[in-house]
Structure 1
Amino acid sequence: MSSTANWSYTAQATIWRCLGRNEDGILTFDRPVVIKCDYGMNARKGSLDIGRECVIKNTIWTEYGKASVGDYLLIGKSSEADPISAGAEEIIHIQRFADTFERNADDYALFTGGD
């Protein structure tokens, strides 16, 4: 972790990586992982690259680089196996930023929301 991230990412969030759908068509998830982050509310209407309209609810800034669109994220710490029961929101967009000062680890903005 870069020294900049060490002092700025002081909050926690929980991420559930989506594994896909099972034979019944139900989403399945890996176990929850707690990450260091910072966050802000971003409630605004936007459009995804494919033209689908969505509402962006939260932006989470982190060095955690394993998140993907379709994973679920909750601000705060949770050990709940089901992200939907925990109140997590789907990650609908990710932006990557270079670690400009130390080149240790890139930073990511994870945007949650939905239709």
Structure 2
Amino acid sequence: MSATASWSYTAKATIWRKLPGKDEYGDPLGYAAPEVIMVDYEGGLSKRIGSLGAEIVVKNTVWSEYALASGGDYLLIGESTEADPVVAGADEVRQVIRYADTFERVADDYAIITGV
């Protein structure tokens, strides 16, 4: 962990990574055991406009050096040992954006964006 990240990422979040492959209905095969990662985060709302009107979408942005997150995973701000991310109240990861570690070049940073 870079020196900058060690003072910036002080909160904990839990991530459930989607297992590779799909069942016969196209659904995920399940999720790996929950992992606790160090993060910082920001909550917010956004308005999504579609052909049937507008809806408010809950969105969280979580910053971390955790490089393994991808769309379809689930993330919860806080710690959980619950095996099922939906039961735990986690939000689905919609997008992951990679940023360079500008100062130290130790580990890149990631914005993990969730939505429900």
TM (normalized to structure 1)? 0.86
Q: Deviations over 1:56-113 (max 9, x none)?
A: 5101000000000110000000010000000000000111110000000000000100
Q: Secondary structure of 1:85's match?
A: helix
User: What's 1:73 paired with?
Assistant: 75
What whole-Å deviation, never above 9, does each CA across 1:22-69 have from its counterpart, x for those lacking one? 35655300110000000011211358xxxxx98351010000000001
Q: Does 1:44 align with 2:46?
A: yes
Structure index of larger Rg: 2
Q: Secondary structure at the match of 1:64?
A: coil
Does 2:90 correspond to 1:88? yes
For residues 82 and 36 of structure 2, the distance between their equivalents in structure 1, rounded to whole angstroms, comes to 11
- Contact kept, 8 Å, 1:54 with 1:113, in 2: the verdict is no
Q: Distance in 2 between matches of 1:64 and 1:79?
A: 18
Q: State the TM-score, normalized to the length of structure 2.
A: 0.85
Q: Is the 8 A contact 1:92 1:113 kept in 2?
A: yes
In structure 2, give the amino acid aligned to 1:106. D
What fraction of aligned residue pairs are identical, expressed as a percent?
59
Q: How many residues align?
A: 109
2:112 to 107, 110, 113: 110
Structure 1's consecutive aligned runs of 4 or more residues displaced over 4 angstroms after TM superposition are 23-26
Which stretches in structure 2 are left out of the alignment for 5+ residues?
50-54
RMSD: 2.0
Distance in 2 (CA, whole Å) between partners of 1:107 and 1:56 is 23
Distance 1:108 1:54, change over 3 A: farther
**What SS does the corresponding residue of 1:93 show, helix, strand or coil?**
strand
Cα contact 1:63–1:105 (8 A) shared by 2: yes
